[in-house]
Amino acid sequence: MPRLSAAERHTVRFTLNGRAVEAQAEPRMLLTDFLRHELGATGTHVGCEHGVCGACTVEIDGVPARSCLTLAVQADGATIRTVEGLAPEPGRLSVLQEAFRRHHALQCGFCTAGILMSLDSYLRSQPDPSEQDLREFLGGHICRCTGYVPIMAAAMDAAKRLRESPSDV
């Protein structure tokens, strides 16, 4: 039974955006801080740190989850995707990211990374969501400046484009 002592740092390994990564973490370190401070993946933002705001949402083993409600040591061996993994290639945004730009669905951008990760995951499992379904799903995120209208418009537009040409990402 592995026991990781409180005062020491322990090696945590997982797959981040398709690449094997490892770094050191105390047992109490949150996955948010591990991503940002140990791995330098600062695309994931830290908001409320108790699971309410959604800014830190990443994909853990294929489903969207709060990285602030996960310990780095719990993520050992997992497959994690963050906003850095969305663009299909350098210099080209994903269909969803492009829709956000087109619809002005971000202003300050603080909540955006989490919303993108949630929607990216959702649109893969629900390619033809109703507006009501999307609203409910977006309820897991708080945006304080853009407003949800352009975010909804971007999500619906991205869903439509992805249905029309499913090979796009």
* Interface positions with another protein (CB under 8 A): 1-7, 26-28, 30, 33, 49-51, 54, 57, 60, 63-66, 68-71, 73-74, 118, 122, 136-137, 139-141
Sign, CA dihedral 117-145-110-161, equals: positive
Give, in order, the Cα–Cα distances in Å from 96 to each of 4, 42, 87, 161. Answer: 40, 20, 9, 9
- Sole residue written with tokens 């797959």: 15
Ranges of H-type helices in 55-147: 95-102, 112-125, 131-138
| Number of residues that this document lists for the chain | 169
Whole-number minimum distance, CB 117 to another protein, in Å?
A: 9
Whole-number minimum distance, CB 53 to another protein, in Å?
A: 11
- Compare residues 1 and 20 and give the one whose CB is closer to another protein: 1
Whole-number minimum distance, CB 49 to another protein, in Å?
A: 4
Phi (first) and psi of residue 63, to 5 degrees: -130, 145
* Paired residues of 60 in beta bridges: 63, 80
- Compare residues 69 and 153 and give the one whose CB is closer to another protein: 69
Pairwise CA distance, residues 163 & 158, whole Å = 9
Whole-number minimum distance, CB 57 to another protein, in Å?
A: 5
HSE-up of residue 37 (Cα within 13 Å, Cβ side): 11
- Compare residues 97 and 121 and give the one whose CB is closer to another protein: 121
- Compare residues 94 and 118 and give the one whose CB is closer to another protein: 118
- Compare residues 8 and 168 and give the one whose CB is closer to another protein: 8
Whole-number minimum distance, CB 118 to another protein, in Å?
A: 6
